[in-house]
Structure 1
């Protein structure tokens, strides 16, 4: 059992479009505070041995300039690696998947001796995202996937009650509990999309399509 409502409430989601180096970018971010000290959270998100416990097996060199590969998923290059210092830490990497490149940054900030604020930002060129995919799913396409990652990290660090290994995640998506998580996460991204200026009917259709994609179900009319 996983405390799905508590996890969904614990995550702050945002979406915006901004210009970087003359190119328009989709920028999504998720934030959650975990009940663990900064050094422990840093190790959980940068150690291959720890990462596989809550996300996916990863190989390669997880140091600045090194290349990594998640099993059956994305790979890339570590472009920033700043270990904990003065209450903060950060790493960035390219996220190379399906022939495209986007960018992921994780920022950690010490709240106090027993809590750490975690932020994950995923950026992609709008020109690189297929128009049909964006029109169908909106920001939930990738955002809901990251929601699953934060859930795994939350369970690993004791941020929410429950137990769910990465190996169980695919089957869990088809359970009542799993469907409630993906429904809530998809709806959360609809809220973020509307806050960015999207029309509510479009954002809600995107959320329905995203929920269906992750659970293999069709939302009730």
Structure 2
């Protein structure tokens, strides 16, 4: 049985708006610690044989300068690959950039994931609700994998009612984070939360009406 409360608590979340030479951006950041070495965590998030056991099938030319594709999800280009510390890729489009940073301390490793998109895509900080719960779910699935709780079909597990309940809690957490950040209006947050619930917890949307 999934310990939803503890998995939600284990993730640190941030959202911020920034400015680059190319314009304004919105960044989502998630962080979680795992009881594994940095090398082991790196391997778990980059080796296709392991990635498919907790997330999705992964294919491509998996090297710096190459490209990747997650089955039924996003693909992109591999901009930086510096094992076991930094992975930087485009994700679903050239202006959507994901960085994964690992900081190991013996048998414990902190994974930090940062996802940045132009304001034109996110619209406001409330855009965090369109991706944050998905990243939360991925970090939770990775924790389950390291704990030895490996689903026979990770895709089916990700769509289970139990995981949808986790995602519903994640939507609530992200709504609070966005509100506290001051990067979106209450109306923007409410609208994004409704869309996010329909996306990440579709079987529960009728329960909240």
What's the TM-score once normalised by structure 2's chain length?
0.88
Partner SS, residue 25 of structure 2: strand
In the other structure, the counterpart of 2:97 is 103
Question: Which consecutive unaligned segments of at least 5 residues does structure 1 have?
Answer: none
In the other structure, the counterpart of 1:154 is 143
Is 1:65 matched with 2:75? Answer: no
* Count of aligned residue pairs for this structure pair: 205
* Structure 2 CA distance for partners of 1:200 and 1:128, relative to 1, 3 Å: closer
Matches of 2:128 and 2:90 in 1, distance apart? 19
Q: 2:118 aligns with which of 115, 125, 136?
A: 125
Matches of 1:202 and 1:149 in 2, distance apart? 25
In the TM superposition, residue 96 of structure 1 has moved relative to its aligned partner by 2.0
Q: 1:94 aligns with which of 75, 90, 95?
A: 90
In the TM superposition, residue 62 of structure 1 has moved relative to its aligned partner by 1.4
Matches of 2:115 and 2:29 in 1, distance apart? 6
In the TM superposition, residue 167 of structure 1 has moved relative to its aligned partner by 2.6
* Structure 2 CA distance for partners of 1:219 and 1:205, relative to 1, 3 Å: farther
Structure-to-structure mapping, 1:31-50, within 5 angstroms: 31-50=31-50
In the other structure, the counterpart of 1:180 is 165
The CA RMSD over aligned residues, in Å, is 2.2
In the TM superposition, residue 166 of structure 1 has moved relative to its aligned partner by 1.6
On the 8 A contact 1:212/1:218 being kept in 2, the answer is no
In the other structure, the counterpart of 1:77 is 77
Is 1:215 matched with 2:188? Answer: no
Is 1:140 matched with 2:129? Answer: yes
Is 1:191 matched with 2:180? Answer: no
Partner SS, residue 18 of structure 1: strand
In the TM superposition, residue 9 of structure 1 has moved relative to its aligned partner by 0.5
